[in-house]
Amino acid sequence: MKHWFLALVALLTLSCAAQGPSRLVLGDERFEEYLPLLEGSRVAIFSNQTGLVGGSGVHILDTLLAQGVNVSAIFSPEHGFRDLADDGHQIDDSVEPLTGVPILSLYGGAGGVQPTRESMDMFDVLVVDIQDVGLRFYTYYITMCHLLDACGEAGKKVVLLDRPNPNGHYVDGPVLDMSLKSGVGHLPIPAVHGLTLGELALMAQGEHWLEAGNTCDLQVIPCLNYTHQTLYQLPVRPSPNLPNMQSIYLYPSLCPFEGTVVSLGRGTDKPFQQYGHPAMEGHYAYSFTPESVPGATHPPLLGRECFGVDLSQMPKEEIFAGGMDLSYVIDAYTILKAEGQDLGFFRRFFDLLMGQRWVREMIEAGASADEIRARWQPDVEAFKQLRKPYLLYDE
């Protein structure tokens, strides 16, 4: 197995050389930095299907085992470890079939979202290697925070192998009102926070945002040749309904539809790239019909033709210029209000996603997307100043 690992190291080294000294190097490729930290320890990993070493196609679990690291447990987030379950689907504890390592689910396992005391006794060092997409309502960072908190309480060391944030080139959206803390909002940060998981972990500890102010022995292995303006192309989808970079870039603007009666394309080949509703017929000619598909077996408006807008071909430059753009939600709300169907348009989940009640209230009062952005902008600027000591990469 070690021969296989050395071959992988040689392959990655040749790849780095072939692509020049400025090639983006992920934290998990920097073996010389983190393997010594794991020697002689029982190691747990927090990862999923995105934990491919340098995008090589070889998983961090297989890499560590090949090097002789004693991997004693796997913590998995929403959607599971290697497979991609539906959003919100409960994942039970299990055993990784290829290696026999126990999988401890933090999305419905024995401890729910919290690691159990028994699971914390199974390791000495936690290795984090997972791809996030940089949104406050994306759940992977929340699971990471639960683990950091538990490691702080139990005196465990954490080695975080950092990865780029595909939405790390800007900061936007309302900062979470902690009275609305939930499974889709855990820290007082903007909807688009612009941080890597390594930076976010450092900030969560430095600002004492973890439960009971717990802090652990945290070491972040940074990426090389990365800045916050680097546009990183994800080699695999991070979750079932983010199939491509277009969906990841549109995610900040279209995810708020999850808290409304409008479909954002779950159950189609363009999730998070379109939106529509049956009552919008006559306002838009474009339509789609959600169906039961893997990753979205029970999508909203299943089997109903929805009329709306296709954003799948929108130039990325336009998406970036719009930032977190609530004009799509406002558009749908305005149309359904004209059709007399605005009652019940917003669900409580909308407030949880936005992290503030006043966003919905302003939309209902007829405010524009620019007016809403102007209200959250001072908080965004304050957050950008607060995060500066924790930045590992140039802005």
What structural domains and CATH numbers belong to the chain?
2-234 (3.40.50.12170), 245-381 (3.90.1150)
- Quote the tokens at residue 32: 């010389």
Rg (CA), the chain: 21
pLDDT at 15: 45
Confidence of residue 58 (pLDDT cuts 50, 70, 90): very high
pLDDT at 1: 47
| Confidence (pTM) | 0.92
Whether residue 86 is predicted with pLDDT greater than 60 in this model: the reply is: no
- Quote the tokens at residue 324: 């977190």
pLDDT at 56: 79
126-162 per-position pLDDT tens digit: 999 999 999 999 999 999 999 999 999 999 999 999 9
Which residue spans within the chain are E strands per DSSP? 42-46, 70-76, 94-95, 102-105, 125-128, 157-161, 172-175, 190-192, 217-221, 274-277, 287-288, 306-310
* Average pLDDT for 301-316: 98
Whether residue 181 is predicted with pLDDT greater than 50 in this model: the reply is: yes
Whether residue 20 is predicted with pLDDT greater than 80 in this model: the reply is: no
344-365 per-position pLDDT tens digit: 999 999 999 999 999 999 999 9
Whether residue 173 is predicted with pLDDT greater than 60 in this model: the reply is: yes
